[in-house]
Amino acid sequence: MQDDVLGDGGATVTSRDAAFRDDPQRFYDAMRAHGPLWPDPAYGRSVVTGYEVAREALRHKSFGVDARRATEGSYARRIAGTGVFEGVGETAYEPPLVLLDDPAHRRIRLLMSKAFAAHTIDRERTRIERITAELLDDVARSAAADPHGAVDVVETFTSLLPTRVIAEMMGLDGAAPDDLRTWSEQVLWGYDPDRDASGQDRLREAYVSLGRCIRSTVAARRERPIDDLVSAMVLAQEDEDRLSDLEIASLCTQLMVAGNVTTSDLLSSGLDLLVRHPEQLAVLRAEPARMADAVEEMLRIDPPITETARIAYDDAAVGGCPVHAGDTLTVALAAANHDPARFAEPQRFDVCRPVEGHLAFGSGVHVCLGAPLARLEAQIGLGAFLDRFPALGPGRTPGVRRALPFFRGFAALPLRVV
Ligand code: HEM
């Protein structure tokens, strides 16, 4: 693979670019061929694409996630200009867990894990099954009204299931799922290093709207806790330590954003993979018990978060290459999952493949807190979809990929379901 597919780097190797959106692995392969670190001067960063080096970077003791410690003008600093560290008044916001280093990170993660512990997987199973069944009734109705028995599965199913699940878990019953999803996506546009003033305004509006909706729930649960996640956060305690209102509101925003777009994308990409690989769909129909492995293979081959970042705090080495204090490393999780040195024939979708160790949920101290929930939603949601629609197949028009930075999924995915 030639380096020239990479051009001058920058936005051409991000989801802003249609060619990259269609086939990011072509670009990642070219970066991997270059060596352990691919320098991208246009964006002031180096990209890690190999599996072992990605794991090393995610767990490196000299690396952290605080963009304020990155070199001026670097990729991490451009993204951090979202105001997540600067909000005041209605946009006051604690940095998300994923952008906190220890000891602050350890403290919040511990309290958060305690709150999550009450929401055991078995308890959530019933909720997810109920919401899935309700949504699939609507999908069937929409398909029956379509002359080709087709529906946009993003609009009717994949974008709705995770949003309803997390909103119900948190107790945000009053908020419309469509609004929650729109605000979540707007917050994620904050990770666009090239966002303009209007993007910044939309981001601020999303923080304000989501914040208002969440803060009123937090205040109500402080008064009178009930059996939901916000109440569990209000009550979570470690020694004398508790979460403040601002911390809870910020954490809820993160859960809404992190848990919603990602899991929607896993469901959409999973359905897309299955209809494009009918022989794998047939294997799964014949052996539904393979669903858990199939979801891991979907996470490996098309992970919803394609990239994350680490900042070097000291001069150090990764993959045997020197890095300097202040350098930004983009850790391409999607590339690591396609490293042929770790996964044989990485482009082949195989629901029978043993895929332990993929990096779709990250690795190290920041490993995804919601992974068990996301896995369960995908296993139940996709399993029920296949049961309900035996005629599932490609739609008459191709799916449309979303341009959101680092979050790979579909804006629309028309499929034939009946
Ligand atoms: C398929 C769905 C999901 C994917 C692919 C995913 C992926 C990830 C990844 C890659 C990270 C680590 C980022 C880094 O190290 O820089 C992460 C962290 C996190 N995720 Fe998820 N996630 C998903 C679903 C969820 C859900 C459902 C929730 C909660 C409801 C959630 C909550 C979090 C939180 C709170 C963190 C920060 C953990 C920390 O910094 O300690 N995620 N996720």
Q: Which three-class secondary structure string do you get for 317-349?
A: EECCEEECCCCEEEEEHHHHCCCCCCCCCCCCC
Give pLDDT tens digits for 257-281: 888 889 999 999 999 999 999 999 9
Nearest-angstrom CA–CA distance, 238 and 253:
22
Least confident span in 110-119, 162-171, 404-413: 110-119
Whether the CB of 64 sits within 6 Å of ligand 1: no
Q: What ligand 1 atom has the least distance to the C-alpha of 374?
A: 27
Pocket test for ligand 1, best of 368, 369, 380 (most atoms within 8 A of CB): 368
Average pLDDT (124-147) is: 96
> E-assigned strands of 142-280?
150-152, 237-238, 241-242
Q: Which residues contact 54 (CB under 8 A, 6 or more apart)?
A: 48, 331, 332, 333, 335, 336, 359, 363
Least confident span in 36-40, 88-92, 233-237, 254-258: 88-92
Whether the CB of 206 sits within 6 Å of ligand 1: no
Nearest-angstrom CA–CA distance, 176 and 248:
21
DSSP state, residue 96? P
Q: What ligand 1 atom has the least distance to the C-alpha of 109?
A: 41
56: enclosing H helix or E strand: helix 51-59
Nearest-angstrom CA–CA distance, 352 and 227:
39
Structure confidence at residue 173 (pLDDT): 63
Give Cα separations from 267 to 34, 115, 161, 287, 294 (angstroms): 33, 26, 9, 19, 12
Whether the CB of 305 sits within 6 Å of ligand 1: yes
Whether the CB of 262 sits within 6 Å of ligand 1: yes
Q: Whose CA is nearest to atom 11 of ligand 1?
A: 368
Whether the CB of 109 sits within 6 Å of ligand 1: yes
Give pLDDT tens digits for 211-220: 888 888 999 9
Going from the Cα of 140 to the center of ligand 1, the distance in angstroms, rounded, reads 31
Q: How far separated are the first and last CA of the chain, in Å rounded? A: 42
Give me the residue spans of the domains in the chain. Answer: 3-416
Greater confidence, 41 or 204? 41
Structure confidence at residue 1 (pLDDT): 43
The pLDDT of residue 12 is above 50: yes
What is the phi/psi pair of residue 302, to 5°? -140, 70
Structure confidence at residue 87 (pLDDT): 56
Residue whose tokens read 């379901």:
417
The pLDDT of residue 85 is above 60: no
Structure confidence at residue 93 (pLDDT): 66
Whether the CB of 372 sits within 6 Å of ligand 1: no
Structure confidence at residue 86 (pLDDT): 52
Nearest-angstrom CA–CA distance, 47 and 36:
8
Whether the CB of 304 sits within 6 Å of ligand 1: yes
Whether the CB of 382 sits within 6 Å of ligand 1: no
The residues pairing with 330 across neighbouring beta strands, listed in sequence order, are 47, 309
At residue 91 the predicted structure's pLDDT band, cuts being 50, 70 and 90, is: low
Q: Whose CA is nearest to atom 17 of ligand 1?
A: 368
> What kind of architecture, by CATH, is found in domain 3-416?
Orthogonal Bundle (1.10)
Please state, as a whole number, how many other Cβ atoms lie within 10 Å of the Cβ of residue 406: 20
Angle between helices 121-144 and 371-388 (to 10 degrees): 40
Going from the Cα of 361 to the center of ligand 1, the distance in angstroms, rounded, reads 6
pTM: 0.94
Q: Whose CA is nearest to atom 1 of ligand 1?
A: 263
- Cα angle: 173, vertex 179, 184; to 5 degrees: 105
Q: What ligand 1 atom has the least distance to the C-alpha of 378?
A: 1
